[in-house]
Structure 1
């Protein structure tokens, strides 16, 4: 059920939500209380203010309501704290075939980008249950402009209406579509990357592993994995440390899992827990960004170690002062935008280095 505050008109909600971020730092610190320190890390002040705003609005975790309201809540969050859209970036909605289905997509093209550019196929987060093209529109625009790439955002089918492996099938279909229609998308077919946040990071990693297992098919040149859900079998310390109080809770994760894989007998299935893939040698180079105050932190970093041990070029960068979902708070102060711009830089450099390595024959 919507909280009393959420019944206000969206412009009013936005004004109320953003007001604390306009205060001097000293006032914000007094408002939110003592700094939050855990596991040798200190939460950024902007992140602490977001938690304060959510608490004041009656929201302390992602899943509080019926499915329709959970989905609507994520959209509302973008209106409140997503910030203004990055411009100038042109968009075009399109359809992507996936087996007997057709799913939505949105192509982002920053002004001045030449034809034959790199392309990022992006899968949004939301536990495979919530999220859509609009909830990640601001992030895709930022990546397009500041990474100097086209972005194809994919509206894959969501659970529980379409449980596992529907999202995996759609993700693979979207990557193949991008490779086969690169010219129509204005992209270089040899410079197509995959990426996503949270559940979308899971899908991007699965696409990269499955592509590597079929060397005759198209291969992503790079993968951008943002606080990805990688291992749904092993409970590492971060799952226990941060299971309460930092947006994504342990209860939330259980709920998402029940919606997505209620029909899955083996949670180690690599299409779900990609960490348990038998062979990751030969997958695309990766940039993995984790968040310090995130239950998924340790598994993302463990996956980076696994890729590195298999000879894959990988960069693992922990945003130690942020929590899970920071990509969706670009309008909340400065720190979230700074972190996302760092991702864009990692994407730009990573694709460039991967293409240079291919040209010189190195892996």
Structure 2
């Protein structure tokens, strides 16, 4: 699909602004933001300022329009496609019909390799493989793995538990078809950001508890883990930091999940022992920060190996901002290193 001229102009302008000397970028962004003992990264503050000037919102009341806006906005922040990379379109049999997916393979990657089954963010309502195309490309290239990006069913068209059901089916497919995907069935991870991080955590729990194939590793970026409780970070960072308290209510209202069921709130699971090792990243200026860190602690208390990394100067959504500044790439590079280690041969 051709990128609209207006979006191309805005993207070029963003690159110009991020290329300015630091004093000028600071002048545009405003005075440093310090909150809860943290200082917001200039790259993040500048992005929020540009968002404010453009009037863009993550959700605006209309589902279709919100999806369209996200599809357009990705061209402003995701950057040029990362390669060299081959892609293959797949259809995964699922409980509600075929699930579209894309397999990303970095050039020259030998078989069999590790494989990341990735679930995109977007509040279970918006987002798709395209909105996270460069995120999955980045992880594939810098972790040295194949990535299977899954387009699970979205609410409100398909309310909970359609999304977790699709994601479990996608992991099972990846394990069963590993050789056809060029992957090692013993080195398959699940991962995702925000709603996708929630789904990856749910998949890890479901597959571990039922017995049989389960992921070797979890890669969770600022996951939503508990619908039932409003934690302190949601009160502090609920306005003005990309993901808002109002947006969270909008997303959860469309998802229609049972807030106390671990299929929606993995933090509420009675038993999390025996789950795969996890890298859990949170963002300091994120309403979901505290519930992501509470999940990390719960896993640690149950004896699960967890690397918790709070990117204390960043905002929710940073895995999608790879095309502007440098700070976002630094954070995702750390995660790619963790994934590479998590899927390394023993």
Aligned-partner Cα distance in 2 for 1:89–1:120: 15
Cα separation, partners in 2 of 1:52 and 1:100, compared to 1, 3 Å? closer
Task: For residue 324 of structure 1, report the CA deviation from its aligned partner.
Answer: 0.3
Find the counterpart in structure 1 of residue 143 from structure 2. 147
Aligned-partner Cα distance in 2 for 1:11–1:238: 35
Residue of structure 2 aligned with 1:274, choices 258, 266, 285: 266
Give deviations 1:88-125, integer Å, cap 9, x for gaps. Answer: 11111110110241010000000111111000000000
Q: Is the 8 A contact 2:116 2:190 kept in 1?
A: yes
Find the counterpart in structure 2 of residue 237 from structure 1. 232
Runs of 4+ in 1 over 2 A off after TM superposition: 6-10, 16-19
* TM-score normalised by L of structure 1: 0.93
Counterparts of 1:168-207 in structure 2, within 5 Å, are: 168-207=164-203
Provide the alpha-carbon RMSD of the alignment: 1.3
Unaligned runs of 5+ in 2: none
Aligned-partner Cα distance in 2 for 1:277–1:32: 42
Is the counterpart of residue 95 in structure 1 residue 87 in structure 2? Answer: no
Residue of structure 1 aligned with 2:317, choices 296, 305, 325: 325
Residue of structure 2 aligned with 1:338, choices 306, 327, 330: 330
Find the counterpart in structure 2 of residue 224 from structure 1. 219
Counterparts of 1:1-363 in structure 2, within 5 Å, are: 9-59=6-56, 61-215=57-211, 217-261=212-256, 264=257, 266-352=258-344, 356=346
Q: Is the 8 A contact 2:125 2:254 kept in 1?
A: yes
SS in 2 for 1:178: helix
Aligned-partner Cα distance in 2 for 1:308–1:320: 20
Aligned-partner Cα distance in 2 for 1:55–1:198: 22
* TM-score normalised by L of structure 2: 0.97
Q: Is the 8 A contact 2:93 2:169 kept in 1?
A: yes
Question: How many positions carry a matched residue from both structures?
Answer: 344
Aligned-partner Cα distance in 2 for 1:108–1:128: 22
Task: For residue 13 of structure 1, report the CA deviation from its aligned partner.
Answer: 2.1
Aligned-partner Cα distance in 1 for 2:32–2:7: 30
SS in 1 for 2:93: strand
Give deviations 1:273-305, integer Å, cap 9, x for gaps. Answer: 010011100111100000000000011111111
Q: Is the 8 A contact 1:18 1:81 kept in 2?
A: no
